[in-house]
Amino acid sequence: MTLYKPKARIESQNRHSLSINSTATFRCIVHGNPEPQLRWFANAMDLTSITSSVINIPLSRHVHNHSIGCTATNSIGTTNTSLRLIIRYPPTFVIRPPKFVVVDFDNKSPSSKPMILRCVVDSFPRSAISWFRYGHKIAEGSTFNLENITTREQQGLYSYRIETSGFETIHADFIIYIKGKPLIYIQESRQYRSSNNREFECQVYSSTSILRISWKLNGQSIESNDQSLISTICDENSCLSKLTYNNRKIVSSTNNINRLSCIAENEYGYEQSRLYQIDFFEDQSTTLISIILSIFILLIILSIAAIYCGCRVRRSRKSSMKNLPIVYDAHYSINELIKDVTSLQASDGRLRKTTFNDNDRLSLTLEQNKIEPTDNLMTSLFNNNRTKKLMDNLSNESSTNSSGFHSKSTTTTFNNNNEYSPRFAEITDYTFSGITPLYTSQYQMNV
């Protein structure tokens, strides 16, 4: 059997990358002849207490970048193998920027103010640091240069953001304050819709003592009473004043813009911050009732309008059917004229019974001597008192359509050669005589 120096390798038993607050497992696999002896070491320190080929290591930020290995030894020689522990862990602050930074323009001494803000964190993987002012990125890196702050308008709320792959982003705010009057921020922090109460916060910053904080609504001071509650808490460089008030009792119901002001004073003077257009919230049930009533009233108005329009249309139809026009033209026969006159008399109630006597006879004057058979019927109609019988005979020669308008009739004649020839209209003047004149026609009609 061949003798040879030991061979060794380390295998990881972990399915995922190493991260903090977990346990890593490794196995040391060795071969040799004669059989080698195995031992573990960490950072060149022997772990004599571990004789197994498998080792479990609790992972923390402190063992990051450490090395671990195993040694195999026999009579032929010794073999070492190792690996480095790379552990993912979230960022922790090494140097953290202050929450309140004072810049004094009046003191020109270099030591009077910090010129650079530092943000140093420890993490793996390496973190990216960004600096912001009111949400806009203004710088990147672990340092922020305060020499760029040159005017009072640049004071205010700043922030920095620490982003590390695989971990939550760290975000923190800080204040850069220019020494002088107070710096004030006002905002609405909470709404109590059920009780109609609202809460506002006024944050005041000052490098010197804050002497007084007050609230005003539309220029009038608000004092703490049963309708409002004012509380103030102060620390070294700032004060937080909270205003809780009843929405219905304090907010003005006029159409003017409601202005809520917070006023703070220190030894350099006073400053104020305002909130404009403060609207109060109505109860949701009241809003729902208003909507339902509005819809109901709208439906009533639409129903009345529909009924009115329907009545107008019905009345218009009745009047149009009652006063149907009687249209004559050159092609109407005299028979149709007689029927129209008779029906008009009956509808108006002027004549209850259609009779003709000697005094109420209708005289016809014809300008031509030639009278067709229809004209003979007209003559006998007005010379005799058998109107009804003659009207029945004449009804076969007239026609009326279903809509109440008279249809046109055409009279045709044939010449000696039995050829068709349209009959020309003759001008006839009919004069109705009696108690009152009934109708006068100057239209051309077929006779």
Q: Which of 181, 250, 182 is nearest to 217 (CA)?
A: 250
Six token digits for residue 322: 């009652």
Spans in the chain with pLDDT lower than 70: 108-114, 191-195, 225-227, 247-257, 276-287, 318-447
Answer whether the bond into residue 114 is a cis peptide, omega within 30°.
no
H/E segment holding residue 172: strand 170-178
**CA distances from residue 235 to 34, 46, 210, 290, 428 in whole angstroms, order as listed:** 75, 54, 10, 48, 119
* pLDDT attached to residue 45: 86
Answer whether the bond into residue 182 is a cis peptide, omega within 30°.
no
Six token digits for residue 440: 């006068």
* pLDDT attached to residue 348: 54
d(CA 276, CA 258): 6
238-246 and 128-133 beta bridge pairing = unpaired
**CA distances from residue 336 to 1, 64, 241, 433 in whole angstroms, order as listed:** 144, 120, 101, 19
* pLDDT attached to residue 76: 92
d(CA 342, CA 330): 20
Residue reference for tokens 């059920």: 194
Q: What is the DSSP string of 179-207?
A: SSS-EEEEEEEEEETTTTEEEEEEEEE-S
Per the CB < 8 A criterion, the answer to whether 407 and 326 are in contact is: no
Residue reference for tokens 């809520």: 260
Per the CB < 8 A criterion, the answer to whether 334 and 447 are in contact is: yes
pTM of the model: 0.56
* pLDDT attached to residue 224: 74
* pLDDT attached to residue 322: 54
Write the CB contacts of 376 (distance below 8 Å, at least 6 apart in sequence).
Answer: none
Beta bridge partners of 54: 27
**CA distances from residue 105 to 109, 155, 268, 438 in whole angstroms, order as listed:** 10, 12, 14, 114
d(CA 76, CA 39): 17
d(CA 322, CA 441): 22
* pLDDT attached to residue 65: 92
Q: What is the Cα gyration radius of the chain?
A: 56
Six token digits for residue 9: 């390798």
Q: Amino acid identity, residue 354?
A: T
Q: Which of 314, 339, 327, 344 is nearest to 392 (CA)?
A: 339
